[in-house]
């Protein structure tokens, strides 16, 4: 099963750090080069169309100049006025006027006018005079009525665009324009100047380019010349094509260039895909090679794992074979040293456990003697009862209760039971020290079942009796217990001789300290023991503070968290 081991993570990381930057740079370079090329091609197309438009503009300028000359020449208008109603040449005068008109045409064509431009004068009787002797008048005769029907005779100042006219075979066409020659005195037109530009002129100008399609449209959207597949619709295939448009102001003609982006970027795309294929191929070869190399590099790690696994399974003699002087060999040597130390440590622990087992047996054996003492004391108690010695039998009973508590000192007890043991202890101390000490217990309701370590309060009672009631006749000790917020407070108050202020402050400092070495060397071992047991049972916030009271004695204040709000674990019991 495939495991995502450490060396595989390293291998994958190297592959990602190598392949990902290469792919990212390649894709970004491809996109930037492609966009740059498209922008340059778009600019080239715009320049290309501008050149074409300039050429067409020159032709239109020639037509405009010629028509303007004819319309505004006064002598020429006289000839036209005389020839306006001639149906044919019948008289010498008609011939003279015809000759003069032809002469003006010859003058205009000698400019020289673009050879693709043809001019025709049509009088009111539809008599046609051509600017060129070689002109074939058949096409103009066939379409004369249609052309004249489009001419607006009341607009002599404008060059009017009549559109494309084709011959009967529909192969050749001519784009016609017209200008009306108007007589201001007679308030009527004299003739119509019809100007034709051969379609071959536009086709030659718009010869198919290497990439894309070019077409010329008039202001109505009709195609004049160029590729028949090109649409006037500006939104046609806009996303996948490059489209450039330039409009000629004088005519409102629009020259459109359109090309598929793929025709320009195809070679770049093919080069990119070929390069990416090569990169992927070499990445696969590199991956396969790196797997074998990484496997060889990982073999020492696997041996380390195997030895550690065997050692953990119980084979304490498992060791690595050290070869070479590289880092792995140094690590192997260090691991062998560590395993040797662990083996010795395990042996020492086993010896220690064996010694502990022997000591526990000895401790169990030693428990026989306290039980012997308890049985002996019980016999003495029975004898005293038979002799009706209530005082000494009670003392023996209290002593037995304390002895049983000492045998089970590691077991928890309740506060009520602890106070009962304190009374037994007080009975013994009255007889032992011959001091009339009275014990008063006042516990807040609900605290009698509070679980505390056994014999927690006894050292404090003993301390009060030993140090506080020397030569004291009216001795008394009070035990108070209450809850304050989330804490339990137990106060043990005496009316003894008290303590000096400096000694009390120094003792409180020792009680608040967590230095175990300092505690071990301190003389008040009983108080230190109380603080340590409280902290082990109730946590590090538990404290013991000695305070002076109004009676001149000392009050020992124990504070620890309320077990109803906190959970603390002792050695075996949760309090």
Q: Give the percent of the chain with pLDDT over 90.
A: 6
Query: What's the pLDDT at 244?
Result: 79
Query: What's the pLDDT at 488?
Result: 93
Are 242 and 349 found together in one domain?
Answer: no
The phi-psi region of residue 151 (left if phi > 0; otherwise alpha if psi is between -120 and 50; otherwise beta) is: beta
> CB burial class (10 A; 0-12, 13-18, 19+) of residue 538?
buried
Does residue 557 surpass a pLDDT of 90? Answer: yes
Are 245 and 100 found together in one domain?
Answer: yes
359 inside domain = yes
pLDDT classification of 528: cutoffs 50, 70, 90 = confident
> Does 433 or 570 have the greater pLDDT score?
433
Total number of domains in the chain: 3
The enclosing H or E element of 279 equals: helix 261-312
37 inside domain = yes
Does residue 518 surpass a pLDDT of 50? Answer: no
Please name the residue that has the structure tokens 């428990």.
367
> Which range marks the domain in which residue 523 is found?
408-561
480 inside domain = yes
Query: What's the pLDDT at 104?
Result: 76
DSSP for residue 171:
S
Rg over alpha carbons for the chain, rounded to the nearest Å, is 61
195 inside domain = yes
List the alpha helices (DSSP H) in 73-191. 74-83, 92-109, 138-142, 144-150
108 inside domain = yes
pLDDT classification of 543: cutoffs 50, 70, 90 = very high
Domain boundary, last residue among 224, 239, 259: 259
Lowest mean pLDDT among 420-429, 490-499, 548-557: 420-429
382 inside domain = no
Q: Model confidence over 460-496: pLDDT tens digits?
A: 888 888 777 765 667 788 999 999 888 999 999 988 8
374 inside domain = no
487 inside domain = yes
Does residue 241 surpass a pLDDT of 90? Answer: no
pLDDT classification of 2: cutoffs 50, 70, 90 = very low
Are 102 and 241 found together in one domain?
Answer: yes
Are 360 and 255 found together in one domain?
Answer: no
Question: What is the average pLDDT across 339-353?
Answer: 84
Lowest mean pLDDT among 140-144, 319-323, 479-483, 498-502: 319-323
Contacts of 491 (CB under 8 A, 6+ apart): 478, 479, 480, 481, 555, 556, 557, 558
> Quick check: helix, strand or coil at residue 218?
coil
Q: Model confidence over 304-330: pLDDT tens digits?
A: 778 888 878 878 788 877 777 777 778
Cα 408–411–414 angle (5° rounding)? 110
Are 356 and 441 found together in one domain?
Answer: no
Query: What's the pLDDT at 546?
Result: 92
Q: Model confidence over 16-67: pLDDT tens digits?
A: 777 777 778 778 887 787 777 777 777 777 777 788 888 888 888 877 877 7
Whether 304 contacts 332, CB under 8 Å: yes
- What is the chain's mean pLDDT, rounded? 77
Does residue 3 surpass a pLDDT of 60? Answer: no
Query: What's the pLDDT at 492?
Result: 93
Q: Rounded to an integer, what distance in angstroms lies between the CA atom of residue 63 and that of residue 295?
A: 85
């Amino acid at each position: 099963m495939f495991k995502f081991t450490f060396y595989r993570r390293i291998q994958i990381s190297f592959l990602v750090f190598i392949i990902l930057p290469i792919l990212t740079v390649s894709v970004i370079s491809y996109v930037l080069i492609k966009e740059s090329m498209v922008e340059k091609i778009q600019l080239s197309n715009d320049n290309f169309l501008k050149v074409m438009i300039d050429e067409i503009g020159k032709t239109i300028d020639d037509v405009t100049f010629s028509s303007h000359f004819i319309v505004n020449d006064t002598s020429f208008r006289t000839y036209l006025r005389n020839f306006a109603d001639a149906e044919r040449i019948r008289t010498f005068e008609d011939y003279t006027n015809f000759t003069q008109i032809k002469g003006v045409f010859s003058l205009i064509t000698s400019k020289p006018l673009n050879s693709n431009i043809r001019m025709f004068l049509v009088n009111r009787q539809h008599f046609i005079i051509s600017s060129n002797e070689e002109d074939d008048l058949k096409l103009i005769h066939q379409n004369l009525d249609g052309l004249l029907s489009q001419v607006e005779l009341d607009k002599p100042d404008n060059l009017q665009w009549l559109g494309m006219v084709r011959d009967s075979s529909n192969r050749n066409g001519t784009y016609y324009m017209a200008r009306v020659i108007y007589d201001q005195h007679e308030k009527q037109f004299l003739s119509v100047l019809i100007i034709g530009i051969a379609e071959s002129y536009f086709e030659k100008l718009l010869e198919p380019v290497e990439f894309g399609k070019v077409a010329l449209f008039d202001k109505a959207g009709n195609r004049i010349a160029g590729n028949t597949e090109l649409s006037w619709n500006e939104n046609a295939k806009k996303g996948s094509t490059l489209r450039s448009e330039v409009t000629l102001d004088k005519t409102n003609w629009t020259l459109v260039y359109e090309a598929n982006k793929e025709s320009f970027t195809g070679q770049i795309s093919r080069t990119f895909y070929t390069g990416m294929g090569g990169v992927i191929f070499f990445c696969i070869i590199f991956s396969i090679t790196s797997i074998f190399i990484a496997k060889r590099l990982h073999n020492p790690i696997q041996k380390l794992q195997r030895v550690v696994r065997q050692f953990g399974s119980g084979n304490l003699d498992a060791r690595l074979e050290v070869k070479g002087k590289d880092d792995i060999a140094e690590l192997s040597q260090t691991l062998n040293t560590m395993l040797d130390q662990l083996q010795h440590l395990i042996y020492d622990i086993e010896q220690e456990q064996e010694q502990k087992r022997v000591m526990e047996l000895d401790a169990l054996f030693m428990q026989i003697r306290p039980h012997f003492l308890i049985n002996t004391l019980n016999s003495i108690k029975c004898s005293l009862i038979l002799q009706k010695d209530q005082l000494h039998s009670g003392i023996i009973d209290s002593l037995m209760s304390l002895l049983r508590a000492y045998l089970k000192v590691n077991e928890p007890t309740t506060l009520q039971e602890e106070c009962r043991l304190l009374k037994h202890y007080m009975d013994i101390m009255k007889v032992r020290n011959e001091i009339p000490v009275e014990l008063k217990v006042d516990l807040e309701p609900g605290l009698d079942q509070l679980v505390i370590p056994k014999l927690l309060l006894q050292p404090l009672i003993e301390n009060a009796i030993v140090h506080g009631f020397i030569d004291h006749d009216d001795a008394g000790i009070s035990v108070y217990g209450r809850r304050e917020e989330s804490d339990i407070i137990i106060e043990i108050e005496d009316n003894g001789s008290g303590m000096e202020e400096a000694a009390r402050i120094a003792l409180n400092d020792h009680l608040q300290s967590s230095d175990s070495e300092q505690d071990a060397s301190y003389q008040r071992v009983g108080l230190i023991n109380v603080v340590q047991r409280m902290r082990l049972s109730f946590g590090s916030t538990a404290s013991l503070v000695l305070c002076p009271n109004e009676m001149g004695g000392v009050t020992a204040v124990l504070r620890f968290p309320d077990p109803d709000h906190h959970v603390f674990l002792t050695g075996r019991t949760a309090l």
